[in-house]
Amino acid sequence: MLAPSERASPRQWAARVAGEEGIVAARQQAREVAKDLGFGLVDQSRIATAVSELTRNVVRYATGGQGDVLIRELEPSEKGIGIEVIVRDDGPGIANVEQALREGFSSGTGLGMGLPGTRRLMDEMAIDSAPGRGTTVSIRKWRR
């Protein structure tokens, strides 16, 4: 692993998500960045699948089926090397985030679908949402 100063600019990738091509592009890119950061095969699969779930929710439920995805390398911290993915949409939003994270709950609107499963695949997940304000989901994973 190179020291931070020797490394190229942090890996970062941003794109508009629209349609199933956007889902595949985002999960492929997430896998690329994760691989680049030295994550193992299982973590690559977890990260790519989590991104697939989140972007799929955008395509299915957000207004116009569109949103934005940002994939980036985190600043190295005491937790080590990390990857972060932020998925944002202007969809209907989630009224009760806690409920959306409960097993078996699915509102069928916005990013609320499949969130418990996605959270299990990652180390950290944060959701910022309110009705009419859209939804932003941030997920992180640290390299063991």
Q: Can residue 20 be called a binding residue for another protein (CB under 8 A)?
A: yes
Give yes or no for a contact between 55 and 40, defined as CB atoms under 8 angstroms apart: no
**Which one of the spans 65-73, 84-92, 111-119, 129-137 is the region binding another protein (CB under 8 A)?**
111-119
- Report the candidate in 100, 87, 79, 98 with the shortest Cα–Cα distance to residue 134: 87
Q: Can residue 31 be called a binding residue for another protein (CB under 8 A)?
A: yes
When binding is defined by CB under 8 A, the residue of 44, 109, 129, 135 that contacts another protein is 44
What are the residues facing 127 on neighbouring strands? 137
Rounded-to-integer distance, Cα 15 and Cα 142, Å: 23
Return the SS3 of 121.
helix
Q: Can residue 121 be called a binding residue for another protein (CB under 8 A)?
A: yes
When binding is defined by CB under 8 A, the residue of 12, 14, 16, 21 that contacts another protein is 21
- Report the candidate in 38, 71, 58 with the shortest Cα–Cα distance to residue 135: 58
Q: Can residue 106 be called a binding residue for another protein (CB under 8 A)?
A: no
Rounded-to-integer distance, Cα 59 and Cα 23, Å: 8
Q: Can residue 68 be called a binding residue for another protein (CB under 8 A)?
A: no
In the complex, the residues that contact another protein under the rule CB under 8 A are 20-21, 23-24, 27-28, 31, 41-42, 44-46, 48-49, 52-53, 56, 114, 116-118, 120-121
